[in-house]
Amino acid sequence: MTARLLLLLALLLLPRAGLAAGLPRIVASADNPVPKCVAPAALMDFVVERNAQRTPPRAIEPRFANLAALYQRIGQCVARPPEQCVAVRWDYAFFQMLIETNYLTFRRPNGVPAAVVPADNNFAGVGATVSGRPGERFKDVATGVLAHLQHVLMYSTARIPDPVARRTRQVQDDVQDAMRRLHRPVTFADLAREWTGTDRNTYGAEMQKLSEKYAASYCHEQARNERGPNVRSVLSEP
């Protein structure tokens, strides 16, 4: 696959208005949608295939088999103000989860079990602010997904009235004060910098890399369907 085609596939996962920030805006909308090629079943296949390539191969816990479907369902209505739901780009939240859990193995890159364990149902290390110490524990998988997505939405400056996670309650005011100083819609690149406390933003680059890996395997059909004049000319160049 050529570098130009990989670039095209990456662009399909990013809304046009979010390209300047490098990653999409946190809040999903008509002009910032989750691409059609990002489907729960395909996302779980992506996870299984990646873990099968490990030495030794690793399998995720069966109770996580429908995790991507939960991210989609809950991500479409993370908060419910009086008039409408507030949705997030749950696809990028899912990619962040893969970074935090090492593709749901809950192991460090060297294979050693991480401080956050599968039984915690904590998919983003929420509350694990000190290296080596466990974070919060949630009662079930769906609650853990909601806690993660609420924490993500919090960065957009949307108020979470009764967060599931203690950490979200503790930092909501400070994080949102910092995000409001941007004077523009908050992106996952902004979240990545604040989450890690560094301007290097290698964390955001990891999310982008995962989105490109997924797109390279699962977004070919959308790439063909969405080729406009400019895209077509890029693909036709040697």
The DSSP-derived string for 84-110 is --B-B-HHHHHHHHHHHHTTTT-B-TT
- Whether residue 179 is contained in a domain is answered as yes
* CA angle, residues 27, 151, 177, in degrees to nearest 5: 80
pLDDT for residue 237 = 29
Sequence-distant (6+) residues with CB within 8 A of 202 are: 196
Q: Can you say whether the dihedral through the CA atoms of 93, 206, 19, 41 is positive or negative?
A: negative
pLDDT of res. 117: 94
pLDDT of residue 197: 77
Average pLDDT over every residue of 38-52: 97
> Is pLDDT of 69 > 80?
yes
The predicted pLDDT at position 225 comes to 57
- Confirm whether 236 is domain-assigned: no
Residue 82 predicted with pLDDT over 90? no
Residue 225: both structure tokens together: 């369907």
Q: Report the distance separating Cα 14 and Cα 143, nearest Å.
A: 28
pTM of the model: 0.84
Residue 152 pLDDT > 80, yes or no?
yes
The per-residue pLDDT for 38 is 97
Domain assignment present for residue 123? The answer is yes
User: Among 60-69, 155-164, 216-225, which is the least confidently predicted range?
Assistant: 216-225
Q: Quick one: how many helices (H) and strands (E) in the chain?
A: 10, 0
What are the tens digits of pLDDT across the range 177-222? Answer: 999 999 999 999 999 999 987 766 789 999 999 999 999 999 976 6
Q: Is residue 237 a part of any domain in this protein? A: no
Task: Taking the CA atoms of 90, 96, 100 and 105 in sequence, report the sign of the dihedral they define.
Answer: positive
Residue 223: what pLDDT?
Answer: 55
State residue 200's pLDDT score. 63
Asked if residue 121 is part of any domain, the answer here is yes
234 assigned to some structural domain: no
d(CA 202, CA 172): 23
Q: Is the pLDDT of residue 103 over 90?
A: yes
Q: Is the pLDDT score of 8 beyond 70? A: no
| Reported confidence tier of residue 79, pLDDT bands at 50, 70, 90 | confident
Residue that wins the pLDDT comparison between 166 and 15: 166
Q: How far apart are CA 213 and CA 10, in angstroms?
A: 9
Q: Is 235 a member of any domain?
A: no
DSSP bridge pairs for 86: 79
Select the more confidently predicted residue: 201 or 238.
201
Q: Is the pLDDT of residue 85 over 50?
A: yes
The tokens describing 65, both together, are 């088999």
> How many domains is the chain built from?
1
% pLDDT > 70, the chain: 79
Residue 84 confidence (pLDDT) above 70: yes
Parent domain of 46: 3-226
What average pLDDT does the structure give for the chain?
A: 85
pLDDT digits (tens, 9 = 90+) for 111-147: 899 989 999 999 999 998 766 667 899 999 999 999 9
Note whether residue 147 is domain-resident.
yes
Q: How far, CA to CA in Å, does 145 sit from each of 31, 76, 138, 185, 228?
A: 25, 12, 9, 23, 36
The model's confidence at residue 58, banded by pLDDT at 50, 70 and 90, is very high
SS3 113: strand
